Structure 1
Amino acid sequence: MGDPAGISPELTARGVMDTDVRAAARLIVIGDARILDEGARVAGLALDTQTVRTETDALAAASGERPVLVDLGHLALEDVRRGEATLAGGTFATENFRRALAMAKAGTVEAVCFTPFNKAANRQAYPGYDDENRFVCDVIGWQGSAREFNVLESIWNARVTSHIPLSAVASTITKDLILHELELTGQCLRQAGIAKPRVAVAALNPHAGDGGNFGREEIEVIEPAVEAAKAKGFDVVGPYPADTVYLRAPKEGCHAVLTMYHDQGQIAMKLMGFDRGVTMLGGLPFPICTPAHGTAYDIAGKGIANIGATRAALLLAARMAERARVGADAAA
């Protein structure tokens, strides 16, 4: 369960009662029964879950058809200030996430999903909280690559840089970094079931630099990275101007667009499918998915939260977990 002051409790309740989700995965919810019950009340749902007190008990109960709630009993309703980022809310969300990550690290669950977090609240509970990638790596001790991907049904967005100032982007991107992100993108697309990924690369500068008139990053950094990727056997096209890359990519059969910075892809993806978009943390030992939208404090408690992106996140995580299991069984 994510931030309790927004739409996360409502989305959690809707998610665990969704027919498609329940058919795709055995669900364990980490949170507080009082908060989940409030989410169900807001959503107008009658919950059908089994409540336990520990993760060990949850694993024993998860063989059944009903979702299992691990009730940590760590947040009373009167301590939730709806529509506000608070220490109590951040403590609730980060503890739930930490417990879920520990289960995944131990191999007792195969994927992790979370309903939306509020970074300001999480930062109050965990100083230095930059984003979910940072928190995950800290908690599970991961030293490898980790990157956010945004996913719609027909197209993914990958990024070379993410949560850094725009002023630092040009000096951060390098040929090796772009090549690394292309390799990671291909890996994650294959894990999601796309056997032969094709990736379009966005330029950094207007009109892809216009032959060097508007910047030389395309000539000196991005194009060499694309050629190096092709030499390694990757199916890569570009760099294309960022204002047309999302128009060209589907026409050229691309499964993903690699953008140079956060908003270059995020704006396009949210315009194309705000209520369906998923954020997937890739490069980690197990899939982690969440709806790509935020906590929507402005509509919290109104019972109108759209389940689309949460459903898509849960189904993507289940699909990736299933493929990983099948792959492991085949290799055994």
Structure 2
Amino acid sequence: MSSASPLPVVALTLGDPAGIGPELIAKLLARPDAAMHANIVLIGDPWLWEEGQRLAHVSVEVEPIASLADARHRPSTQRPAFIAIDTVEQAQVVIGQARAAGGRSVLQVLDRCMDATLAGHVDAIVFAPLNKHAMKLGGLTHEDELHHFAEYLGVKHYFCEFNTLGDLWTARISSHVPLKEAAAYVNVDRIVQASELIYRSLLDNGVESPKVAIAAFNPHGGDGGVCGREEIDVIAPAVRELQARAWPTDTPFHGPFPADTIFLKAQSGEYQAIVTMYHDQGQIAIKLMGFSRGVTVQGGLPVPITTPAHGTAYDIAGLGRADVGATWQAFQIACRMGAAHRRSIEAVRA
């Protein structure tokens, strides 16, 4: 009899039923090398999974299981597992439209994954693109899915969203807040915590000696105080505090650097991560460099959670034209970080 799979358990969701998520997951699981990286468990509505395969022009053999509690100990197999859950009727979904029924569906599936996380049944989660407006129509009470995850999982420490493009990762110390309020978030604690979190996450992702650059807040890095003092009073002291600590690798933190040139240093390979001071400071650069390949990583949660950064693409939903590249990247990151998570849990138990 086959032994249980040694691979990390990675849960996949189909995302917003009106978007490109089902098609993307079908294309992902049709890749013959997908099952080499993880013990994959897909969770979703059977009709939606069939629709995703139809749009992707693929047929993927899956193994039905009852719950994520069964995933860890199933025999090694090249087939993904599938948990059927009824969350939305096909008649309630209009392709390309954000609706409450779709938002409720997304929340139900994600919460099922959160319950499995709390029970220790999964090592990582990849969710196909969702729509925040639909989720709020469907009952989401938080500003975004990250804050929903954090509260559901009882996270009390610092957490933030990472945006990645290939070998370059970015973190930000403020996210979905009005720009006029961003300065209030520029403080030493948030900079230190965001920098440490992205550094340790890169280690979990297999980067041996990550270098992290910290961005300035003001134009030209403040110009010695002429354009603002956040660099002098807050950001530089945060960098010094980081540099004074002991780390697994040599001097990983540097800055502050003017935001209009910092990505040039990263593009040349000098840095593997950039900590930015507000949402668009990093997002504009990352999306300009490779919109269709970007991945969002939910940092600071009990297990790694990833998703393609491009969104539901309602304009091409149902047309069979979705590019699986970013979803494949999100899956690979989840597999690497999920394996690191599993090793750390097993080391504690040993």
TM range (shorter): over 0.9
Residue 276 of structure 1 is aligned with which of 293, 297, 306?
293
Residue 173 of structure 2 is aligned with which of 140, 147, 160?
160
Superposition map of 1:202-241 within 5 A: 202-233=215-246, 234-241=251-258
Q: Deviations over 1:147-170 (max 9, x none)?
A: 111112221001111111111111
- Partner SS state of residue 39, structure 2: coil
Judge which range, 37-46 or 180-189, deviates more: 180-189
Are 2:318 and 1:301 aligned? yes
**Structure 2 segments unaligned to the other structure (5+ residues):** 1-13
**Structure 1 segments unaligned to the other structure (5+ residues):** none
Judge which range, 263-272 or 233-242, deviates more: 233-242
Residue 210 of structure 2 is aligned with which of 188, 197, 210?
197
Distance 2:72 2:303 in 1: 18
TM-score by length of 1: 0.95
Distance 1:329 1:138 in 2: 25
Q: Deviations over 1:28-62 (max 9, x none)?
A: 11110100111111111112112345444555657
**Counterpart amino acid of residue 147 in structure 2:** R
Are 2:155 and 1:142 aligned? yes
Residue 187 of structure 2 is aligned with which of 174, 177, 196?
174
**Counterpart amino acid of residue 282 in structure 1:** G
Q: Which residue of structure 2 lines up, in the alignment, with residue 290 of structure 1? A: 307
Q: How far does residue 328 in structure 1 lie from its aligned partner after superposition?
A: 4.0
Contact 1:16 1:27 in 2 (8 A): no
Higher helix share: 1
Contact 2:16 2:102 in 1 (8 A): yes
Judge which range, 141-150 or 5-14, deviates more: 141-150
Residue 7 of structure 1 is aligned with which of 16, 20, 26?
20
Distance 1:176 1:54 in 2: 40
Contact 1:7 1:299 in 2 (8 A): yes
Contact 1:35 1:75 in 2 (8 A): no
Distance 1:19 1:267 in 2: 34
Residue 78 of structure 2 is aligned with which of 46, 60, 65?
65
Contact 1:101 1:112 in 2 (8 A): no
Aligned residues: 332
Q: How far does residue 13 in structure 1 lie from its aligned partner after superposition?
A: 1.1
Distance 2:114 2:345 in 1: 20
- Same amino acid, percent of matched pairs: 43
Q: Which residue of structure 1 lines up, in the alignment, with residue 332 of structure 2? A: 315
Q: How far does residue 64 in structure 1 lie from its aligned partner after superposition?
A: 2.9
RMSD: 1.7
Distance 2:292 2:33 in 1: 17
Q: Which residue of structure 1 lines up, in the alignment, with residue 279 of structure 2? A: 262
Are 2:166 and 1:124 aligned? no
